[in-house]
Amino acid sequence: MKPSETQFALNLEALVAPQCRRIVRALVEKPLSVNELAKDCKLTTASVQKHLEPLIRSGLVTVISSDGSEVLKLERSTLQPTIDWFADLTQ
């Protein structure tokens, strides 16, 4: 399997749960803390932490330090193989 195909599979697996998709959508505009994600996504912090696991494992989300605290950032480049696959379907 090519690396892009592997990433595509990891992305699909990470985005199965609707809570994961809500987290990704919330991170599109800017990096957020777990507490900010919980508020924006209307989830508990425990639920956010649980659903971050597959997103971090796939590389879609990374943890960065900002002003002494941790925030979560969407890695758009990691999402690209999935975007490309769906774009190919529309051609």
What domains appear along the chain, each with residue ranges and CATH number? 3-75 (1.10.10.10)
* Phi, psi for 23 (deg, rounded to 5): -65, -45
pLDDT in tens, 35-76: 999 999 999 999 999 999 999 999 999 999 978 899 999 999
Please tell me the pTM assigned to this model.
Answer: 0.90
Question: Alpha-carbon distance 67 to 49, whole Å?
Answer: 21
Q: Which residues of 57-83 are buried (b: 16+ CB within 10 A; e: fewer)?
A: ebebbeeeeeeeeebbebeeebbebbe
Structure tokens at 78: 């990691």
